Amino acid sequence: MAASLNRPTTRIAFQGMPGAYSHQACVEVYPNAEALPFNTFEGAIAAVKEGAADLAMLPVENSTYGRVADIHHLLPESGLHIIGEHFVRVHINLMGVPGAKLENMASAMSHTVLLGQCRSFLRDNNLAPVIGADTAGSAEIIAANGDLLQGALASELAAEIYGLDVLARHIEEYDNNTTRFLVMSPEPIRPMRTDKELITTFVFRVRNLPAALYKAMGGFATNGVNMVKLESYMVNGSFTATQFYADVIGHPDDPALHRALEELDFFTSYVEILGVYEADKARG
């Protein structure tokens, strides 16, 4: 769970429309905050950097579809710091305008990813899939059209916001579909070393040396540090310039992790810690 910043005046930026799953993450972590929608990740990040928002809620990966496109490039360049993580179980719901009935409905609109996760339900109920730009946007369109034969697939929060009735709940085919979000702040907020599980997230580039990555990772193995995530991606459009994104269990001041990071520094040309934060209880 994110750091305790749930002040009534907290403003938290997210990408998407009101009712998006990113909005749901904001509500779950900071129920008293003002959630501010932006069309792009860059817009949400800029709002924090410019002071229009206090925090940003950014999705980084999904258990079914992998990492969110472009986000790993944006995080190191954002100038923001990770202060928390949150996992959202993606429940998909069919909704329609008041008075609509499932047995009379002819089509359902949503983002293509959600449509793909509900194929069996759509087939069994003779609903034609209609591709929308996003989930919450589809709910807004259905509400505006007022057509009893059209439905939308989205979160229950979207149904609440746009005045729609939920006709079928949790219709997704993947019973563990979950999205991981990171809470970003303009200032680092490192928790103290406690008995709670902590995550340290960092990015690095290895030196142009034989077996440099193997040697850089060796320090984590020999010091017993659990690396729970390691991903690579190209930078600056080059096939030879590769940056790595990593999550490890522990605090940089822990002796074992401190030694591992010292060894990492020897074999890398660049290392940046993006954040140290408490692990969400859903991680376990």
Active site residues: 179, 181
Name the helix (H) or strand (E) containing 1. Answer: none
State the number of CA atoms in the 13 A half-sphere of 7 facing the CB.
7
Tokens 């680092």 belong to which residue? 188
Instruction: Point out which residues pair with 272 in neighbouring strands.
Output: 203
Partners of residue 243 on adjacent β-strands: 233
| CA distance readout (Å), 138 to 80, 155, 162, 277, 279 | 31, 11, 10, 35, 33
CB 141 within 8 A of CB 70: no
Q: Cα–Cα–Cα angle for 209, 213, 214, nearest 5°?
A: 105
> What distance, in Å, lies between the first and last C-alpha atoms of the chain?
12
**Rounded CA gap, 31 and 7, in Å?**
10
Q: Which tokens in the block code for residue 168? A: 């079928």
Nearest 10 degrees: Cα torsion 229, 234, 236, 241 = 100
- For residue 274, the tally of other CB atoms under 10 A from its CB is 21
Spell 141-166 as b/e; 16+ CB within 10 A means b. Answer: bbbeeeeeebbbbbbbbbbebbebee
